[in-house]
Structure 1
């Protein structure tokens, strides 16, 4: 019996950490929020002790997001704010290294861009977003907040939660910190420390300070080696381009002290209950690269994906409503464009088809309040790349009007209106298994889209029933 137990222990210890997720602070696949500094635009206010942030976040943020992506937690990250010096200026004359790192991570590892906030660009929106996520917290749905920057941003979010009457949600808010600087540094005399934020909550917040994740003079111990990049060379030489990219993000420090990703140690602690993470353990975690496991793909003749997977640009915006799947939808907020396709408002998403054939294309949509059941706020231009779409027997070679009508609910519908052909169902004829792309351009102001749905050899009534129980078809 003792020998069997010893074998089990040896197996558990030697397994790569990506196969063993412990539960620090009872973490169990719950929501995660992060706020970091990293400001590079100088804040020259006389009360600011240092004009700029420590550039360790320029590498630490990509590393932290890579760790989350490695264990497929992208959809658990519900808020990420950066450059979080309150009252600091926007980046106008200096390179915004944090934005570059964040946008690179979103692109490489399929994060939801709507959850990320560059604080100086719109402090109120960033604070309100974090406050709204905190306010959702219950014993069954706690929020884990990783503290990577000064406390004032967090304090203001807590103040808003209380002001909105959601104080009880703070009982289910967990905070992880490792830095006395982040907890106590004041950019202005009127700012607040982490201790004051906890006190404001009535000591409801559950706070955990792990050991400082810096040990720059002992690089084999934790996450920092100062000016010595040798311990990070495995990133530089990795066959995964995205890991090479993390290495590149550490080389902007003016004094070459960028070999420091210490804040990522808090993410590692949360996921693996290990405050002694280090570069050797990270190398093991990333041994086979970072594989994105949540690509949308068709299964058994059905493909469904959330509209927020489109990379929003132009006048497309994110909306929030409990009637939508995952409580999110996208909407077109630009002017009506009935006569001309404005490619500035083009959004696209690529997906995988496993079983080739002819698919019916629909969406779940809703018209804006006050216009439901009319012809307003109900259509967009649609095009399937490489001329894969058809209206009846005729291929759609360019963008055509695609419309629906709704009541208060998001409705599964969608018809083409094509000149000289009238109203037709849109079908997609995929000749082989592979990746394909759908494109939308805004047409009527206010249109709300929840999901895109494609199916073959299934009745639409059956599809309506299926999508009540699933949000997406993912790999």
Structure 2
């Protein structure tokens, strides 16, 4: 199922290895029953989207009011794995998740900070999955990226994971990768083709629909509620952002929304009413946040290493294993090489999420310095005013913040070559946004300071129909940059590299 398409009904994905199909269910009612178990995997890490800071305690408050504390069999948070250390004073999700656990009477042994105890979180979720049967299914709410869910499913029993149903409402949770070698919803489908999947409407909504407010004022009813626990929920929303949309997955699952997949803030206010939630917890027992832990970052080895020679790296784009919807097409008369790669998602005329079709190029630099980068690329055949002429790129192993670190990289369409020949050009520009735009400007030339040693360069699919033939990295001052006739530089296999004596 393509997350970029709107969903007016509940969708259940029927997945085959050959592709992704989506079949609309006959009703918008949740299949969950009161005896069914629920697990939740959420993010909320610092420098990530802050919506979970408020959505998590509101979700816990909803479950507590509904008397479903025992149904929650697993909750992990800060699930951006291999991301960055979170010190206690920055751990806003600990305050939200563990504060809600204490106040609303949930089992503390089922809560895991994935930034502190990633392996324990994965092992616990694996155990919960392994308990799943046809009579005792597990509903797993994806309120953050899916790498942790993938690892748990990978370690679980094959028969048990058939009785797991993932609940989602947004392509961010389905496709965003904190590290570009992580796995997402596409990979889960390949791992467990028959996994259950419930995709409901985006709970962000607009014009009074959904659980995304325009300001904290939309949640004043929590601030002034007679229940001090709900006053605290308001404080957590204010500590994050007025967006508790992820809580809408739980409200729909347990039947609060009725026949509508979207619940509004006003409906939530009415549902909570004026009565206090039974005082089953104790805010005084909220444990202190533990010391931060530096993540164990293990980058992929890949299959090949591209060697720089005399300040040059010349790479045929199809020289790495292709992922998702990248395909190889045959060469045309006026450019070199055996072919080029093309991003061909089923939604070719729409922009896909930035972390699909991840390609990794491992570069070995022997002459350190400042390197220019250019892609020989084209989107021939696109409409005259079409601007879908780009991909996402990233240099390095830095964690991928949701806003700005992954660069939008494109070639201009208003060039003489656009309507002639293949349309391939070397014009390459970064179209920056977020934090990068503030530091580098809206547009910048792709230039990287590369030290001696190995570096990782990533390309992700974005614009349907976009083609890439070659990739050039040339040290400043070295001739031949953007020259079609430059020969491809050496490639060695990772296995060969291990066998060679290290100097």
TM-score by length of 2: 0.49
In the other structure, the counterpart of 1:307 is: none
Pair 1:223 & 2:218 matched: no
Pair 1:265 & 2:248 matched: yes
Instruction: For 1:35 and 1:275, locate their aligned partners in 2 and report how far apart those are by CA, in whole Å.
Output: 20
Per-residue deviation at 1:106?
1.6
* Match for residue 275 of structure 2 among 283, 289, 304: 289
* Match for residue 40 of structure 2 among 34, 52, 61: 34
Pair 1:245 & 2:232 matched: yes
Instruction: For 2:53 and 2:218, locate their aligned partners in 1 and report how far apart those are by CA, in whole Å.
Output: 18
Q: Is there any run of 5+ residues in structure 1 with no aligned partner, and where?
A: 1-21, 41-51, 296-309, 315-475
Q: Does the Cα contact within 8 Å between 1:236 and 1:247 map onto a contact in 2?
A: yes
Alpha carbons of 1:93 and 1:284: their partners in 2 closer, same or farther (altered >3 Å)?
closer
Per-residue deviation at 1:275?
1.5
* Match for residue 212 of structure 1 among 184, 192, 202: 202
In the other structure, the counterpart of 2:30 is: 24
Q: Does the Cα contact within 8 Å between 2:210 and 2:262 map onto a contact in 1?
A: yes
Pair 1:186 & 2:177 matched: yes
* Match for residue 124 of structure 1 among 119, 141, 149: 119
Q: Does the Cα contact within 8 Å between 1:37 and 1:150 map onto a contact in 2?
A: yes
In the other structure, the counterpart of 1:148 is: 143
Per-residue deviation at 1:23?
6.1
3-state secondary structure, aligned to 1:212? coil
Q: Does the Cα contact within 8 Å between 1:74 and 1:111 map onto a contact in 2?
A: yes
In the other structure, the counterpart of 2:264 is: 278
- Within a 5 Å distance, the mapping from 1:357-396 to structure 2 comes to none
Q: Is there any run of 5+ residues in structure 2 with no aligned partner, and where?
A: 1-27, 289-503
Pair 1:168 & 2:174 matched: no
Per-residue deviation at 1:198?
2.2
3-state secondary structure, aligned to 1:182? helix
Alpha carbons of 1:78 and 1:136: their partners in 2 closer, same or farther (altered >3 Å)?
same
Instruction: For 2:84 and 2:39, locate their aligned partners in 1 and report how far apart those are by CA, in whole Å.
Output: 23
Per-residue deviation at 1:221?
1.1
Alpha carbons of 1:233 and 1:75: their partners in 2 closer, same or farther (altered >3 Å)?
same
Q: Does the Cα contact within 8 Å between 2:169 and 2:201 map onto a contact in 1?
A: yes
3-state secondary structure, aligned to 2:80? coil
Per-residue deviation at 1:291?
2.4
Alpha carbons of 1:53 and 1:289: their partners in 2 closer, same or farther (altered >3 Å)?
farther
In the other structure, the counterpart of 1:347 is: none
User: Cα deviation per residue 1:99-128 (whole Å; 9 max; x = unaligned)?
Assistant: 001122122111100000000111110001
In the other structure, the counterpart of 1:402 is: none
Q: Does the Cα contact within 8 Å between 1:231 and 1:279 map onto a contact in 2?
A: yes
User: Cα deviation per residue 1:69-91 (whole Å; 9 max; x = unaligned)?
Assistant: 01000011000000000102231
Instruction: For 2:286 and 2:77, locate their aligned partners in 1 and report how far apart those are by CA, in whole Å.
Output: 20
Instruction: For 1:170 and 1:84, locate their aligned partners in 2 and report how far apart those are by CA, in whole Å.
Output: 20
Q: Does the Cα contact within 8 Å between 2:32 and 2:254 map onto a contact in 1?
A: no
Pair 1:138 & 2:144 matched: no
Alpha carbons of 1:75 and 1:311: their partners in 2 closer, same or farther (altered >3 Å)?
farther
Q: Does the Cα contact within 8 Å between 2:104 and 2:280 map onto a contact in 1?
A: no
Q: Does the Cα contact within 8 Å between 2:54 and 2:239 map onto a contact in 1?
A: no
- Within a 5 Å distance, the mapping from 1:400-439 to structure 2 comes to none
* Match for residue 235 of structure 1 among 213, 222, 236: 222
Alpha carbons of 1:311 and 1:139: their partners in 2 closer, same or farther (altered >3 Å)?
farther
User: Cα deviation per residue 1:214-260 (whole Å; 9 max; x = unaligned)?
Assistant: 02x52x2110123x22221111111111111111112224xxxx111
3-state secondary structure, aligned to 2:254? helix
Per-residue deviation at 1:39?
0.4
Per-residue deviation at 1:170?
1.5
Q: Does the Cα contact within 8 Å between 1:72 and 1:294 map onto a contact in 2?
A: no
Per-residue deviation at 1:130?
0.3
Instruction: For 2:276 and 2:169, locate their aligned partners in 1 and report how far apart those are by CA, in whole Å.
Output: 26
3-state secondary structure, aligned to 1:87? coil
User: Cα deviation per residue 1:116-167 (whole Å; 9 max; x = unaligned)?
Assistant: 0000111110001001000100011111100000011111111111xxxx10
* Match for residue 60 of structure 1 among 34, 55, 61: 55
In the other structure, the counterpart of 1:405 is: none
Structure with larger RCO (C-alpha < 8 A, sep 6+): 2
Alpha carbons of 1:222 and 1:132: their partners in 2 closer, same or farther (altered >3 Å)?
same
Alpha carbons of 1:185 and 1:234: their partners in 2 closer, same or farther (altered >3 Å)?
same
Q: Does the Cα contact within 8 Å between 1:171 and 1:204 map onto a contact in 2?
A: yes
